[in-house]
């Protein structure tokens, strides 16, 4: 899957931007970004149509790209999984759902659940000309539980909106609603990883099978200040650059994630995963891996042609071929 927005979604955003002042949108983007970075939630940062559009312009490309990467890994690890229903919990403007239908064309029953009306309204407008136009829209608090059951359950950049004491309860609600595969995606910060790690413990205790990125069900071997996260590069449109006051035509989105399945799914064998960008030197390539037995550092010497050829093809987040 491409990490860049599908043409239909890019076109829908462009239509929303028709007649909108780019200068005012940039100012609104800065204000919403400041609110989020100060610990605010969408309830306080996204109060109207323009706030939702500013968020979509600045953040939807990155959240879509992260979800696209996660779903690509899900397709690799669970190749026989063919979901027909999706629950996008804390859906925001719907970027995660767009990534899901790009990955699995058979998704015909989609539910959007979010407590923020401007986000839900924008999600509907953006999806007016695609298969997501039939999504079932539900306004509700994630802490309330009672979610509709779906083959695929997604909570993308949503746990950060929940009070820490309630996050475990929300993860339990998400798992209860999951008929097949659960995908959690959070910012690739130490705090985002901490939320993923806590969810991991909750899900293992509930009997979930970890699909990715973990190649085992043991305690995470990473020790602070290290944390597990990954990166995806996406292109920035002209409006995207203007909204963020950026000149570089691309953006690197750091994210943390977890894929967990019900025991009935056929999951591919675990493989050691690259946890950081490989370090290339004259003698060879040093790679940090998390494997079934924990952390390992593998050095592929240049003189070891078979292993060096493998290492040259690997990047952060990839797996070492068995």
Lowest-confidence segment of 91-95, 182-186, 243-247, 276-280 by average pLDDT: 243-247
Per-residue pLDDT at 205:
97
- Where residue 88 falls among pLDDT bands split at 50, 70, 90? very high
Task: Work out the widest C-alpha separation in the chain, in whole angstroms.
Answer: 60
The answer, yes or no, to whether residue 17 has pLDDT greater than 80, is yes
Per-residue pLDDT at 125:
97
Q: Which CATH superfamily is domain 65-232+247-261 in?
A: Vaccinia Virus protein VP39 (3.40.50.150)
Mean pLDDT, residues 223-245 taken together = 86
DSSP-based three-state secondary structure for 242: helix
Helices (H) and strands (E) in the chain, counts: 10, 12
CB 46 within 8 A of CB 52: yes
Considering Cα of 124, then 38, then 182, then 59, what sign does the dihedral take? Answer: positive
Query: In this structure, what token pair is assigned to residue 94?
Result: 């719907």
Query: Under 8 Å CB-to-CB from 305, ≥6 apart: which residues?
Result: none
Q: Which residues are bridge partners to 284 per DSSP?
A: 301
CA 47 to chain centre: 24
- The conformation of residue 133, written as its DSSP 8-state character, comes to G
Instruction: Tell me phi and psi for residue 228, to 5 degrees.
Output: -90, 120
To which H or E segment does residue 69 belong? helix 49-77
Query: In this structure, what token pair is assigned to residue 162?
Result: 């929940």
User: Where are the chain's structural domains?
Assistant: 65-232+247-261, 273-313
Do strands 279-280 and 273-274 pair parallel, antiparallel, or not at all (unpaired)?
unpaired
Q: What DSSP line would sit under 136-189, residue for residue?
A: EEEE--GGG--PPPEEEEEEES-GGGS-HHHHHHHHHHHHHHEEEEEEEEEESS
The answer, yes or no, to whether residue 254 has pLDDT greater than 70, is yes
Query: In this structure, what token pair is assigned to residue 114?
Result: 């979010």
Cα 266 to Cα 97, 109, 165, 290, distances in angstroms: 23, 23, 33, 22
Q: How does the average pLDDT of the chain come out, rounded?
A: 93
- Other CB atoms within a 10 A radius of the CB of residue 279 amount to 12
Q: Which residues are bridge partners to 151 per DSSP?
A: none
- Where residue 322 falls among pLDDT bands split at 50, 70, 90? low
Mean pLDDT, residues 198-205 taken together = 98
Cα–Cα dist 104/119, whole Å: 24
Percent of the chain with pLDDT over 70: 100
The answer, yes or no, to whether residue 37 has pLDDT greater than 90, is no
The answer, yes or no, to whether residue 36 has pLDDT greater than 80, is no
């Amino acid at each position: 899957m491409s990490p860049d927005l599908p043409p239909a979604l890019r076109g829908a955003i462009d239509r929303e931007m028709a007649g909108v002042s780019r200068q005012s949108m940039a100012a609104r983007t800065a204000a919403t970004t400041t609110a989020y970075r100060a610990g605010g939630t969408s309830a306080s940062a996204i109060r109207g149509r323009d706030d939702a559009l500013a968020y979509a312009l600045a953040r939807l490309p990155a959240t879509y790209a992260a979800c696209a990467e996660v779903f690509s890994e899900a397709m690799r690890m669970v190749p026989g999984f063919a979901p027909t229903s999706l629950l996008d919990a804390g859906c925001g403007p719907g970027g995660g759902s767009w990534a899901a239908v790009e990955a699995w064309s058979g998704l015909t029953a989609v539910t959007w659940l979010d407590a923020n009306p401007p986000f839900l309204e924008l999600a509907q407008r953006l999806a007016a000309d695609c298969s997501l136009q039939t999504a079932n829209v539900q306004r509700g608090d994630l802490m309330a539980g009672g979610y509709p059951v779906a083959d695929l359950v997604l909570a993308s950049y949503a746990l950060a909106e929940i009070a820490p004491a309630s996050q475990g309860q929300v993860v339990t609600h998400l798992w209860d609603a999951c008929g097949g595969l659960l995908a959690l995606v959070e910012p690739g910060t130490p705090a985002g990883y901490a939320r993923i790690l806590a969810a991991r413990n909750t899900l293992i205790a509930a009997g979930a099978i970890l699909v990715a990125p973990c190649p085992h069900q043991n305690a995470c071997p990473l020790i602070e200040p290290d944390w597990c996260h990954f990166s995806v590069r996406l292109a920035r449109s002209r409006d995207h650059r203007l909204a963020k006051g950026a000149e570089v035509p691309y953006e690197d989105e750091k994210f943390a994630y977890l894929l967990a399945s019900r025991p009935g799914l056929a999951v591919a064998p675990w493989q050691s995963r690259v946890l950081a960008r490989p370090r290339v030197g004259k003698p060879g390539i040093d790679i940090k891996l998390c494997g079934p037995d924990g952390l390992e550092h593998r050095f592929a010497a240049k003189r070891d042609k078979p292993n060096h050829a493998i290492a040259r093809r690997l990047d952060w987040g990839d797996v070492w071929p068995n």
